[in-house]
């Protein structure tokens, strides 16, 4: 199988990620290490120090940026499986062994991912655990057969803890204009269901003190509105489903409800939203729009002027080979393999 490891000026974190890869109990892998800082020689020094022939370093000729770098991970390859390990994440020793076993046992599944432990970075490279992304209680394997409210503006899967079959519609490039924060959600629109979560934390997610993301508020709200607009346009969601998505706001960000309103207005579905949302909630959002007229105008312009991402998302609907559901139906669960 093939592992893509992407890095940009994080030598200490990269060392930790590579160590976790080299300690995997499943050893039949090859790693493409993509260094997006061509003037940083620490990657080559580390690879030479480790001396593992399975790790192949690719120094980018220029700084590609996040979207182009991750697009290198979604090219056709002869391997059966692939995974992406970001430099600020790391895996438990049985991650690959367990996830490969899940996909081998379930040929109907293209994408599986494990739960992750969150770690908060502190001064002097100190790390403190901060819970897990998913609750550890519940079925060991959870199959997501139908659309979930969270997917209106977020991804269910975690890119740094996933294993995918190296074929199918999900092996496609993101549009060049995709903002960093939208990449996982946009990619998931091309992933065929069922998606499978392994609830045991087999990977670790770093909450770093600094981030390379620098989107504006217009881009943030506009990007969420793009995702919501495509979701509502291509999925036969019921009023009950829409209400659950609205209530999911605190998991998707403080501006998510504004994005749902923008999407509903652009689709001509404002009355549907009025029927399922409490009046005082809509009033609070309306007052926010009135207090920020330039921002509101910018969000609507952002969504209306976008062509590339909208076309990409619309095409994804045709690739999903499982009918959408009018509500979030029950999820299959079973014991771990």
Mean pLDDT, range 266-287, rounded to an integer: 89
Strand-pair category, 195-207 with 141-144: antiparallel
The helix or strand, by DSSP H or E, that contains position 121, with its residue range, turns out to be strand 111-121
Q: Domain range for residue 74? A: 2-207
Nearest to 177 by CA among 36, 71, 319: 71
Listed in sequence order, the residues at least 6 apart from 104 whose beta carbon sits closer than 8 Å to its beta carbon are: none
pLDDT of 324: 38
Q: Are residues 252 and 299 in the same domain?
A: yes
Mean pLDDT, range 93-109, rounded to an integer: 97
Residue 328 has pLDDT above 50, yes or no: no
Listed in sequence order, the residues at least 6 apart from 232 whose beta carbon sits closer than 8 Å to its beta carbon are: 152, 242, 263, 264, 267, 269
125 within domain boundaries: yes
Q: Are residues 145 and 69 in the same domain?
A: yes
Q: Kindly indicate the confidence band of residue 251, based on its pLDDT and cuts at 50, 70 and 90.
A: low
Residue 330 has pLDDT above 80, yes or no: no
Residue 231: C-alpha distances to residues 59, 116, 118, 238 (Å) = 37, 26, 28, 12
Return the structure tokens found at 147.
């659309």
Domain boundary at 180, 207, 234, which? 207
Q: Can you tell me which residue has the tokens 């592992």? A: 3
Nearest to 79 by CA among 32, 23, 19: 32
Q: Kindly indicate the confidence band of residue 254, based on its pLDDT and cuts at 50, 70 and 90.
A: confident
Partner residues linked to 198 by β-bridges: 114, 141
Return the structure tokens found at 53.
């022939």
pLDDT of 336: 39
More confident site: 331 or 316: 316
pLDDT of 326: 36
Q: What is the pTM of this model?
A: 0.90
Q: Are residues 249 and 277 in the same domain?
A: yes
238 within domain boundaries: yes
Residue 318 has pLDDT above 90, yes or no: no
Domain tally, the chain: 2
Residue 322 has pLDDT above 70, yes or no: no
Residue 82: C-alpha distances to residues 5, 86, 150, 172 (Å) = 11, 13, 25, 13
More confident site: 318 or 49: 49
Return the structure tokens found at 256.
């998510």
pLDDT of 210: 76
Least confident of 146-155, 185-194, 321-330: 321-330
Domain boundary at 157, 181, 207, which? 207
């Amino acid at each position: 199988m093939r592992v893509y490891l992407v890095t940009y000026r994080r030598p200490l974190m990269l060392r930790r990620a590579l160590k976790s890869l080299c300690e995997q109990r499943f050893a039949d892998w090859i790693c493409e290490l993509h260094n997006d800082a061509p003037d940083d020689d620490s990657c080559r020094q580390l690879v030479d120090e480790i001396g593992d022939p399975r790790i192949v370093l690719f120094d980018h000729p220029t700084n590609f940026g996040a979207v182009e770098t991750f697009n290198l991970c979604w090219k056709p390859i002869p391997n059966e499986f692939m995974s992406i390990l970001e430099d600020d994440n790391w895996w438990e020793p049985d991650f690959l062994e367990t996830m490969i076993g899940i996909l081998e046992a379930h040929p109907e599944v293209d994408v599986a991912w494990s739960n992750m432990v969150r770690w908060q970075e502190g001064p002097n490279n100190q790390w403190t655990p901060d819970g897990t992304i998913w609750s550890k209680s519940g079925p060991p394997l959870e199959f997501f057969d139908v659309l979930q409210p969270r997917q209106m503006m977020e991804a269910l899967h975690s890119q740094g803890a996933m294993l995918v079959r190296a074929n199918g519609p999900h092996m496609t490039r993101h549009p060049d204009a995709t903002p960093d924060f939208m990449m996982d959600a946009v990619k998931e629109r091309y992933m065929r269901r069922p998606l499978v979560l392994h609830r045991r934390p087999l990977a670790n997610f770093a909450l770093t003190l600094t981030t390379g993301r620098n989107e504006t508020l217009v881009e943030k709200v506009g990007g969420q509105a793009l995702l919501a607009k495509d979701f509502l346009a291509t999925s036969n969601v019921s009023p009950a489903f829409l209400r659950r998505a609205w209530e999911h706001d605190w998991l998707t960000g403080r501006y998510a409800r504004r994005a749902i309103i923008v999407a509903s207005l652009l689709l001509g579905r404002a009355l549907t939203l009025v029927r399922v949302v409490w009046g005082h909630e809509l009033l609070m959002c309306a007052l926010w729009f009135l207090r920020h007229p330039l921002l509101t105008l910018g969000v609507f312009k952002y969504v209306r002027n976008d062509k590339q991402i909208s076309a990409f998302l619309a095409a994804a609907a045709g690739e999903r080979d499982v009918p959408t559901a009018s509500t979030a139906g029950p999820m299959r669960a079973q014991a771990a393999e």
